[in-house]
Amino acid sequence: MGEEKGKVSKIRATELLRPFLHRELPVTHQGRGARTRLEMEVLTHKLNLYIDSWMGPRDSRVQGWLLLDDYLPTLLLTLLYLLIVWMGPKYMRNKQAFSCRGVMVVYNLSLTLLSLYMFYELVTGVVQGKYNFFCQDTRSGGASDDRIMNVLWWYYFSKLIEFMDTFFFILRKNNHQITFLHVYHHATMLNIWWFVMNWVPCGHSYFGACLNSFIHVLMYSYYGLSAIPAMRPYLWWKKYITQGQLIQFILTVVQTTCAVVWPCGFPVGWLYFQICYMITLIILFLNFYVQTYKKRGSLPRKEYHNGAVVASMNGHFHGMSSTEGVKHQKLRAD
């Protein structure tokens, strides 16, 4: 009954806004700006109405959190990302590639620290709340649920930060590394986690984010440290990153399936969606792993060129390797 009243009030709000769209505003810069803002508000409202009618009531505990109330900002940021992926290489075609080495060291090590923080907070919150590995709903963890929600918001936001992975490729003219797997993973994760944060922001949602944060500690630390020449002899874990990612996806499927077999009130539709999405990643990453390592007979060796590490694909989009010289480098996966 309460949900029906909410829908009616939203529809009435839309009806109240409609006259303003047809109202004559002064043909000035301010008038056009006011009309554009009003049209955006109506568009946002209609999009929220559609999503809520499809997905059901949101989790009120995250109401008002940055970027979560409206889907439009997340959608527009994703479309902007895809536009840059399309236009960026064209813009850089006749320009000198940027080094970005110093910025990339800071970027990678910053994401290493953020990933370490998220992993620690998730593990601590799960232990504190005595989460059930096989199935955990979104309303039984008490204060731990709040802790998990806070860190999962950072996890969602980190997917926006990670768009920089692609932008560095564009600036450095490593366009061959902007693969379907790369763009698919980056574009979908931000959007998926917007929905997760609005409907299932804790409970069984923690597991995949926890594993992924751990993998990102290994991944971003490798790429940050590999840009420091003195550290290169001590970096031994590159070849294990892709294997770790595949194990991560498989374990997530297993843990998600447990909640289907032994339900606890966590929305089952989310469980089926996560299983399907993980299967797509397993297929894409496994294909990448076979193409990169198994068909070549052995792991590609690392090379250094002009002081920059040139490494093989290692489960992340930042790595580089070369079998045909420094101008044609291998792909890397995330």
**From CA 49, how far away is CA 145, in angstroms rounded?**
27
- Nearest alpha carbon to residue 315 among 253, 251, 246, 213: 246
**From CA 197, how far away is CA 185, in angstroms rounded?**
18
- Nearest alpha carbon to residue 3 among 63, 48, 53: 53
- 306-319 per-position pLDDT tens digit: 333 333 333 343 43
Q: Kindly list the domain boundaries of the chain, sorted by start residue.
A: 1-47, 71-310
| Summary mean pLDDT of the chain | 84
Highest mean pLDDT range out of 1-5, 39-43, 269-273? 269-273
pLDDT, residue 200, reads 98
pLDDT, residue 227, reads 82
What mean pLDDT comes out for the span 231-256?
Answer: 92
328 in catalytic set: no
Residue 158 pLDDT exceeds 50 = yes
- Nearest alpha carbon to residue 251 among 153, 121, 133: 133
Contacts for 139 with CB less than 8 Å, ≥ 6 apart: 145, 203, 265
What mean pLDDT comes out for the span 201-211?
Answer: 97
| Least confident window among 13-17, 91-95, 112-116, 226-230 | 13-17
Catalytic residue among 185, 216, 316, 318: 185
- Confirm whether pTM is higher than 0.75: yes
- Nearest alpha carbon to residue 187 among 280, 66, 270, 96: 280
**From CA 153, how far away is CA 205, in angstroms rounded?**
12
pLDDT, residue 144, reads 96
- 127-147 per-position pLDDT tens digit: 999 999 999 999 999 999 999
Distances (CA, A) of 97 to 168, 170, 183, 308, 327: 10, 8, 21, 14, 12
pLDDT, residue 2, reads 44
Residue 116 pLDDT exceeds 60 = yes
What mean pLDDT comes out for the span 14-19?
Answer: 48
Matching residue, tokens 């923690």: 206
User: Which residue did the predictor score with more confidence, 67 or 12?
Assistant: 67
Q: Name the β-bridge partners of 310.
A: 303
